[in-house]
Amino acid sequence: MWRCRASRSTPDGDPAVTELDETDREVRVTVEATTRPLGPAAECLDVVELPLEAPIGDRMLIDGSSGEAVELRQGG
């Protein structure tokens, strides 16, 4: 199993992967988060790990909620 870390800006929520679908061409993922009313300045960057069957490689990462491609960046 390979792991890919994805980050998403959520207003102080608890992110969870609700959809993860892999093909030879793309990885489609939907992340949802619960939110707590802490005010407009409470937005933060959350990280979730995606348990992938194979490395992401040249596949596109697709935001399942919008259908748009997500820019991939290597972390260090």
Predicted confidence at residue 20, as pLDDT, reads 92
Q: Look at residue 43 and tell me whether its pLDDT is greater than 70.
A: no
Predicted confidence at residue 65, as pLDDT, reads 87
With helix as H, strand as E and coil as C, how does the chain read?
Answer: CEEEEEEEEECCCEEEEEEEEECCCEEEEEEEEECCCCCHHHCEEEEEEEEECCCCCCCEEEECCCCCEECCCCCC
Tens digits of residue pLDDT in 5-42: 555 555 556 777 889 999 999 999 988 876 655 555 55
Q: Which letter does DSSP use for residue 41 in this model?
A: G
pTM for the full predicted model:
0.69
CA dihedral in degrees (44, 54, 58, 14; nearest 10)?
-10
